[in-house]
Amino acid sequence: MQSQYSEAVIASMTLIFGDGFLSPGGEDEVKRIIQSQTGATNLAGRKVLDWGCGLGGTALALAHKCHADDVLGIDIEAGNIQLAKALVNRYGCSSQNAFQLVDPGPMPLAEDFADVIFTKEALCHIADKAPVFADFQRVLRPGGVFIGSDWMTGSEISNSEAYRAWEDQLRSAGLSFTFVSMTAHRDGLEAAGFEQVEIIDDTAWTLEHGEGYVNRLEGPDRPRMLELLGEDGLAGLIVRCSARVDALRNGDLRRCHMRARKPGPS
């Protein structure tokens, strides 16, 4: 499988997003996602699965910032899993964090494995999300909770110039994502059997951060980014990040927090 996360991409993303992160907000945002839901989930004593854990920053934050005792991060990219293990060693973390390389498709995990499934900006890689939501149901224990965040579209078909420009930029950079609407996420989770589904629009926060990232690329981070990506690479990244800001501002692109519950006793 062709990796979407080359060394240079990882180095530039972690410069912007923070050590161990391939998505906005760092560990404070992981905490916001956990806390922003109605009836914020207390992770102490819970077994948490971090689906699409990337470089391990989210899993580390779930343990250290959100007090989960036992976090398993899974990902389909061997290089990311390796870096996640190295991150945990670097920060001197304990047995709270484990990581496992998996194949795309049903997870090699038993039914009722997790109390909480967390995911951050990983579902957007999946074209057909229905089998993934069904597998979340299988792996969550009854009464367990799915919590996460992702990029979504505001409506079913986003035809705005700003949105299309951003998608074109991603495609021409060889990046593969499938963005679907907030409604499609809600319907998909409900169809898989989840209840109390909440899709919470966090676009305002994301827009503010997105604008900040563009300013940094054009300002203080420029010299290091030039070393990592070269003139053309950095110019392409700035175009993509600016297109994303335009699409967020225009409202066709959203970033949302999600929460859903598997029926059963709490």
Residue numbers of the site for ligand SAM (CB under 6 A)? 21-23, 51-54, 57-58, 74-77, 80, 104, 120-122, 125
Pairing mode of beta strands 140-153, 70-75: unpaired
Nearer to ligand SAM, 127 or 157 (CB): 127
Distance in Å, CB of 250 to ligand SAM, minimum: 22
For residue 122 the two structure tokens come to 């990983």
Phi and psi at residue 187, in whole multiples of 5°?
-60, -40
Nearest residue to ligand SAM, scored by beta-carbon proximity: 54
Nearer to ligand SAM, 70 or 77 (CB): 77
**Of the candidates 133, 76, 121, the residue with the CA atom closest to the CA atom of residue 100:** 76
Distance in Å, CB of 134 to ligand SAM, minimum: 13
Distance in Å, CB of 265 to ligand SAM, minimum: 29
Q: How do the residues of the chain divide into helix, strand and coil, expressed in percent and rounded to 5? A: 45, 20, 35
Distance in Å, CB of 86 to ligand SAM, minimum: 15
Nearer to ligand SAM, 2 or 95 (CB): 2
Residue 14 and residue 228: Cα distance in Å, rounded? Answer: 12
Nearer to ligand SAM, 117 or 245 (CB): 117
Distance in Å, CB of 204 to ligand SAM, minimum: 19
Alpha-carbon torsion angle 107, 128, 47, 142, nearest 10: -100
